[in-house]
Structure 1
Amino acid sequence: MRIAVAGATGNIGALTVAVLERAGHEVVGISRGLGVDLITGQGLDAALAGVDAVIDATNGPTLDREALVEYFATATTNLLDAERRAGVRHHVLLSIVGIHDIEGNAHYYGKREQERLVREGGVPWTIVPATQFHDFAAMVASWAEQDGVAAIAPLLVQPVAPADVAEFLAEVATGEPRGLHPGLAGPDRHDLVDMARRTHQAVGREVRLVPTWDGVFGVEMSGNALLPGPGARIAPTTFEQWLATQRPAGA
């Protein structure tokens, strides 16, 4: 199959490209660095010529709510318009578990708009909501870190390995459209603060973590809000297995 990957140079996108290529598929990368711009539409028609399926693994920049919604709306509209012109038969969107039940998160507003456009976009589709990735905890801590101290919400999560996400996106894209998938998650539940502590330890960093709901993630994201629902695909890689691959910088 000829499959395009939007966000091909990002974390999940690059892993997905590698999975597809190992399986013998012809992969078209979509990203600004590859000369295709989702915001302006430049290069999209040429990139999607003869494409059977598109995987959208793009991520939005750090913006306020209104700007994020506009970004996702513009990029998704341009992509879907080009897909219809090219006769693409399957659009696969990577989304996030729990976004429809949580208010106040700017990124989630953008992803909800992205999902809406895909559902109404006229291209047969599959939306795959995934839980947070294994590197999420350390990333969240880095956003707030100052002078070796970081505030972090004690979220309950069921994290998934980025490599497992890529494998599943490739599997979905090569099959028939499924509509809204029940979701993708890792095998075990973890506390985000403990995940950050253990990740820092693995990479040789000393950061004092301060659990708090007074930050990016509020109390509305507590409890089971970020956990997968019934029927979710459970990916095989545990947080411990992923953690074993992490090394101190320069090691």
Structure 2
Amino acid sequence: MEPSRREISWTRRDVLLYQLSLGAGPEDLSYAYERGLQVLPTFAMVAGQGVSAGDDVAPSLDLSALGIDLATILHAGQSLTVHRPLPARGDATVESRIADVWDKGKAAVLVLESVAADAAGPLWTSRTQIWARGAGGFGGEPGPEPDGTVPGRQPDHVLDAPTTAGQALLYRLNGDLNPLHADPAFAKRVGFDRPILHGLATYGVVAKALVDGVLDGDATRLTSLSVRFAGTLFPGEMIRTSVWRDGDLLTFVATCPEREDAPVLSHACAEVTP
């Protein structure tokens, strides 16, 4: 499959909406007010898809072209590396490709890589792991073992980040309008009691918690973030992130304390600057 290329742009309004949808408020105006606005690196995951893009944004890769039933796929993992701090407004070219296909027996894992650059050079590289049920068993490589082994000691930080009952409804305005995050009847048809929060919303909430709780509120110090999506979170539940620091590497897990610390993110690590 040939790589796809698309042009994207974003404004401060897109950044503000994204960060408000992660829970930013009047107590942290550096995320929620255009004066002195800083950009969380995880904004890269929605750049070019939000309110400034309109209603006709094409997906970066069309998996249906591979004969994969979209009802069988699951967002299994996400990694992101930012090559420099993201501007609050900008234009970029994003080139996306299937970087790997791993055989897990009953499923295949597709690794979708996207690289964004602007006139000044590379901005970010993201790698999305898609779990495709029923597509395995073709004799391929199983893929590497995941990083993010938790140290055998008490965490250095425990960070609690609340979510709100309406958070998924706000987050979906960043571009992901999947009814699973809004429609109770649809959620029940696919096996959930009620709509769930987007995995990438959890990813962003945890990134903000790391910046605020470990990096002195400086989003430019968070340069990479890699996770596996280990379980669902319902809007209104707490995300508890336990963090172990070893120099410039953070290892962490995120759980839901209201459900006996049910796992939400696992095999998770981040790279930071001093």
Q: TM-score, normalised by structure 2?
A: 0.30
Instruction: Please identify which structure carries the higher helix content.
Output: 1
Instruction: Please identify which structure carries the higher strand content.
Output: 2
Q: TM-score, normalised by structure 1?
A: 0.31
